[in-house]
Every structure is written in structure tokens, then in C-alpha cells.
Structure 1
């Protein structure tokens, strides 16, 4: 987990970028830095989750945002012996330029030793018009430097391609990320703080709005007022849409919560980006979601009213803007199912709303009674954002469908319906799946038209019986 005590041979000092903010943003003494980073990482939750493809983490001084950055880097620990390359992108604070600045040096030095620059990765993007060799942009820039000690302590042996991003369109950033995307050996890190120098309550509102845009993958809608790393961040959001990644909140805070006063704060956020449909939620988080659904149903049985949900009392993943379905089954038979296809509220609020609605407002069933609680099974499906599936005809749709993986939405005029991915358990044949979905939408089983619209999504699903 730590760097080797023997530093690799490097050609010469002129090829090393020396630390610019050691002793200011983090300790300059190796032992003190190692101790602080290790303590921050040790305090981060050790979740039973696969490492994400990308993370977003803040870049302030460690006393301000180090704990949140450590939580993001801790998510990479399961892949510490697999990740061999990190593409690290951050904003320009010192030098004004257009495009993306790549360094020419062989390594970036930290008090813990040198971090090798991946020259092969740099060469792979050298011909792109938005990429420029510009060491001046890196010389005093802190937005990348502060991340390096975390990488040194979390990953075994890694090369880094540091990229400082000036004003650049999301597509131009995404094109660079696409060329460098690689496989499981490559991780992406976006360095960004959020709002700057607002009052505490104002900043919380602004940062919550930015968080919602990140979680909706709403690229191009975040500017420098919402996040200083808006340019690289918007590029990642575009790539996340293209590559089918979902964003899960790791944490959201500001300097007023950590080491500063509350009159003028800086906001910090961290997110993990993983392929939609893979496991995003730890066992404990799943239990919390199921417990919330059951509490919403019990509240309805007691008072008939929807429960009040205080979002701030839930863990950050449940504060993430996501859509879900809640499904109730009794003795294996459907007893209610209500959900949202589009994310319009935090996940905790969506779970509580849909659980209550599945029990008491599904028009297909009478209201749930207390006598039905024993043996009632509650299931939750957390959906990825739906994306249009472009098909030439029904045969093309059948060829592109992934049985057991895809949830599907079909629409033609005012007729519309969806099947969750778990419907494949009962309708395993593509023809049968589509025919039943068309019937649900009020279409004939053989219906097709040039105006047919198709979207697909994935879901992470889990269920449990209501405790006695």
C-alpha cells in the first residue's frame, strides 16, 4: 500500500516538478505527511464495494478537505494492486490559458518521493488540438499536487498523467478522457472544490444544487461559480453518460464544517463513478434503504400519512439524486409497485415516497392492511438514468437488448410503459418480454412504428421480508 523506500532513478532534477505547496496545504516533513494521510485514510469507511472507475475529490488544504478527499481515495483501495495509471485532471488557478496543459517532466516530487508521469499516456494525446505542453501551468498549481500523497499511500505502484484544464468545452475534455480511458488498470480523478466565499447557509444551498447536477450527469450546466473544476468535471459528466456510469455521493461539506469560520466558506464534495448496474451500495446502505421503506409503510398504517423525511440525517449515498422503484410482494405475488423513472429528489425521499405509494396508492390493489405485514416482502430497485436506445426497427431492438440487464421504456404517442430489469426473471425470452411490455403500454404485441421511442436503463435491486 506504500511506495517503495527505494526511489526510482530519474534522469535529472530539471525533469522533476518540485512541490509548490508542501508546508502550506500539507506537511513538508515526510514522516508528518505520511502520518496525516494514513490517519485520514484509516478514518474513512472501508466499504464492501468494488473500486469505481472515477472519483471527484476536493483539493483544499488537508485540514479543510483532507478527510473528505480521503473518503474518495479509500474507494480505490480494493484496486490498489490493479490500478497502474491515474489520469488526474484539475483546474488552473495560477496561469491563464485555453485547453489542456500536459507537463514535459518525468516526475512530480512530493515529500514522500517522486510520482512518475506516464509519458506514454501523454504521447497518446499529443496530437489533439486542445492539448498543449505547458509546464508553466503545472509549476505552482496546487489542484493536482495535493492529490499525489493520497495516491502514493493508497496505490501500490502507479504512474500519473497530470492535466491542468483551462477553459475547454466538455466534448474536448471528454475526447481526451475517451482516448485515455483504458481498462481496469486506469482510474480517473477529477480535482475540484465547489462554491467559494459565501455564507454557510448560502453555500450549502449552492453546493446542493451543484451536487444534483453532478448526480444527474448534467454536463455543461456547471460553471466556475458552482465548482472551480467545472471544465474537467463537465467533461467527466459527458463521458459518464457516454460510458454508462452512475454518480454516487461520497460526501458534501464546507470549510465551516471542518476548520474555518462560517462567514465565508468554501464548499467540498466527493463522488464515485461506477458502471451503472454494478453494485454501488454497501450492505449497510442497502439495509438502511430497506429499513426506510418499511418505516414508511408502518407510518402509513399508523397515520395514513406519508412520512416526513429529513434528508440530512441519511448517509451521503442516500442523499444522492436518484430514482427508484419499490415493489411489494406477498407470498410471491405482486402486491404493489410504484416508482420514478427520472431522478427528481434525493434517493431517501424517493424510497419513502414510493414505499408508501406502493402500499397505499397503487390503483391496481386495495390499501395494505396491518394483517398483511407478516410475510410481506419489500424490494428496492435503484435506477440508472435512462438513455435513448437508437434502433432501426424491432429486429434491431431485439438484437441490442441485454436480457437480465436492461430495463426498458417504450413510448409511441401517448402510450408508454416500462419493465424493470428483474422482469426478465419471469419473461426470459426477448420476444415474450417485448410482447408483454407492449400490452402493458396498450399496444398490440406486433405493434411497431417509425415514431416508436425506446430508452433503457439498469438497476441495482435488493429485497427483504418485513421484520416481524
Structure 2
């Protein structure tokens, strides 16, 4: 049965999970917030993982994350919960007018909620199933009502399934319908459920550590094998997927406790509670100065001369700046009389930048399988350019790829390929051609980028080189 447009979902957990008196509720939340001592995160919060038990058990843990969104201005908050009561298929979104708590009615962003169903009708349904008695969304709302700046709206989502496909599609749908909006994602989840105190702490530690790795696919696999425990594992995976689409992210575990620790009883049934913030960090640009660029180009040339038989002095780490000690992915490209003569790079490395440049230059001159090794006679006509790679950012949206700015790295299982930004620009490719060509570079078929199993990453480069003579 369709949800009436003016329907208000009334509280199901007030008076049981949290106070039903508005003044008592505000007072308790403020007490939790005031007692938080954890240092705030240094970045823009994109998503929070918070527990959903009764406030007496998990309220202080939830507050450890919620405190750092105080006065945050957002348009829409997507709160995702597992379904504890209703069995159904896929994902349920409430499209009525609001969700009521003792602090008032939280308005629903009905346009976004309905658009989810339109975008992915195979995943989403507009139904009260999952919402009627569910506490997983409701218990988070009073914190949001107290802390967020006014005018935000809610999209309440309950997940009855948490397969990798469902999680990925849910994230894609949320990103699509919220484009242009400032959003916050709340993943409502408790952790361990069981009877052994030591196992509870060990399981929660594993689970929280893996959440911090920001690998949603591996996280879902670990839930299926019970290496990790989180009743809201689906919402957590969705939150990670969404956060990663905003660029380089960091995580911080804000708090952890268990019902056994709160009650003081280490026997009987117990539940673990954790709070994690996922936040955006500004992309790190090395920003080399002219002297540092010149030094890298000199190192590249002397490394090539050394490799093909000329005599050159080695450079020690004491002779390079701190900037050149950072580990970054790079490519070294060689041209002879304007024509490509070799190109080799390191995508991921822990080696200092100056050493990586030396290694790649030697390989480009002698081990690029497309060319014979560079000879001493070619040195005078050889020009060298260096591309320093930014951190990779995952994407599934081809419209976000900007030709001339972005490079592509595509990975599927153990196959991977990379093309630098200038490749697409020099060949006048559009985004789809660029994707197809990068797939072929990875040894995949051209349309593989359209399939969910294929991972797509974009990156930018800082490029500089010798002048051709």
C-alpha cells in the first residue's frame, strides 16, 4: 500500500530507548555531548557510524560521533538502518511527510525519497515495511534535531538485504538523487551480539579496524564469513561507498564500549557499540618549486646515463628537499625528437619520490617492452617529462571525468590499467572512449567499465619536463 503524502511516522521507541519527555531528552543528549573529550576530526564530516541501542547503553558512544556535526549545515540527512522486525526484499524508503520524535516532526525530503525508487526500482520500494516498529532510525533523530543547524530534511532508509550489489546500488542511487545537495549519511549499527566478553571486544576491534580501511566490498565479505559483526553492516558499506565518491577520505574511531561494560556484568547476552567518523581531507598537492622540479629531471637524466653506461654520481637523501622524500606514484616519459621513446611508472609505492623517479627513468630507458633500449647516441635528442600522481579517487559516474584534467586507473580482480590525463587530451577522446581504452590497457574488454565488478579511479597529475631542443 502506498504511503500517503501527508503521513507522519510516530515514535515507536520513545519511553523505552530514550526519554519521551522533550526536556528530559534534550537534557540527556546535552549531558552526553558535554562529556565527550575526544579531539574533533580535521576535515568535513561525510558520514557517521553510530549505535542504536537504548541511550543508557549506547548514548554516550553515539554522542562521541554526533558532537562533531554540531551546527553543521546540510540539506538532507540519509539515515540508514537494518531491519530488525519486518522481513522484505531490498531496501525500504519512507516517503511520507515526516518522522516524529518527542522533539517534533523531522520533515522528509520527499523529492529525494521518491527519486530513489524511480532511480532503482529493483532495489528500493516506498513502503512502511521496516519503518513501523524500527528503532534504528528513530533513536538517531533526537541527536540530529539538537545538534544540526535548522532546515535539514530526512531520508529514512531501512535495508533488509546487504549484498555487495544492494549496497553498491543503494549508494549509487543516493549519490544520483542528491547531486547538488549538501548531505550527511548516518549508518545506524551496533556491533557484536553474543555471550562472550573477550570475544565481544576482539570482534569489535576487528570490525572497527576494517571500517577504517574503507573497503566496502571486503567488509561485506567479512560480515558474511562472520569475521566482522555489525547488524547495520549494509548501512556501513553504503556510507563508505558514498564517502569515497567525495575524494580522499580519512576515518576516526571516536568511541567504543559494550553493554557488559556499561552494566558491569560480563556474563549473559551482550552487545558492542562503536562510533566512527568518515571525513573528507583536502587532496594533498606536493606543489614542487622550480628547483625541486629541476633536481628531479636531473636525477632522471643521470639515472638513464648511468643505466646505459655513462658515469654519474649517486644522489643521497641528504641532498634532496623534504618534499622529494614523500612517497608518491609517478610516471617518467621519454621522447626522442618529439616521438614517444618510453614510459614507465610506479602507481603505488612507499619509496621516496626522488628514488622512484630514478627507478622509473632507468626502466623507461631500458625496459619498456614497446621499444629497444635507449642508446648513448640518443641522449642528446632525448627529452624527459615527469608526472606526479595525486591520490586515487573512486568513481562510477563518467560525467565526473574531465578530459585533460583526470587520468584513469581501472582495476578488476588482478587486472589493472592506467592512462595519464594527457593521453585522452592528445587523442581528442571523450569520457566513454577514455574509459574503454583504459579497460583495454588493463586487458579487459572495452565495455568492462560499465559493469559493477570493475573499479574505476580518477586522479590528477603535476606534470613538468625538459624543453625539446
Residues matched between the structures, number: 334
Comparing 34-43 and 198-207, the one that deviates more = 198-207
* Greater radius of gyration (CA): 2
Residue 231 in structure 1 maps to residue 234 in structure 2: yes
> Residue 409 of structure 2 contacts residue 458 of structure 2 at CA under 8 Å; is this kept in 1?
yes
> Residue 18 of structure 1 contacts residue 108 of structure 1 at CA under 8 Å; is this kept in 2?
yes
Residue of structure 1 equivalent to 2:122: 129
> Residue 194 of structure 2 contacts residue 271 of structure 2 at CA under 8 Å; is this kept in 1?
yes
Residue of structure 1 equivalent to 2:221: 221
CA distance in 2 between counterparts of 1:336 and 1:130 reads: 48
CA distance in 2 between counterparts of 1:455 and 1:87 reads: 25
Residue of structure 2 equivalent to 1:188: 185
Residue of structure 2 equivalent to 1:207: 204
> Residue 12 of structure 2 contacts residue 132 of structure 2 at CA under 8 Å; is this kept in 1?
yes
Q: 1:233 Cα shift? A: 2.1
CA distance in 2 between counterparts of 1:72 and 1:188 reads: 12
CA deviations on 1:197-248 (whole Å, 9 max, x unpaired) are: 2422212222222223322323232437511012222223333444435240
1:33-432 to 2 correspondences below 5 Å: 33-44=25-36, 45=38, 47=40, 49-79=42-72, 82-127=73-118, 128-157=121-150, 158-168=152-162, 169-183=166-180, 185-214=182-211, 215-219=213-217, 220-223=220-223, 225=226, 226-255=229-258, 256-259=260-263, 261-263=265-267, 264-277=269-282, 332=321, 400-401=404-405
RMSD (CA atoms)? 4.8
CA distance in 2 between counterparts of 1:125 and 1:389 reads: 17
1:427-442 to 2 correspondences below 5 Å: none
Runs of 5+ unmatched residues, structure 2? 285-316, 331-349, 359-389, 411-416, 424-437, 444-455, 461-469
CA distance in 2 between counterparts of 1:38 and 1:390 reads: 41
CA distance in 2 between counterparts of 1:208 and 1:145 reads: 26
Q: 1:83 Cα shift? A: 0.9
> Residue 61 of structure 2 contacts residue 274 of structure 2 at CA under 8 Å; is this kept in 1?
yes
Residue of structure 2 equivalent to 1:370: none
TM-score with structure 1 setting the length? 0.58
- Name the CA shift for 1:175/1:388 in 2 (closer, same or farther; >3 Å): closer
Q: 1:195 Cα shift? A: 1.6
Q: 1:166 Cα shift? A: 0.7
- Name the CA shift for 1:338/1:145 in 2 (closer, same or farther; >3 Å): same
CA deviations on 1:95-143 (whole Å, 9 max, x unpaired) are: 1111111224322111111111221222212322321122142111000
> Residue 75 of structure 2 contacts residue 153 of structure 2 at CA under 8 Å; is this kept in 1?
yes
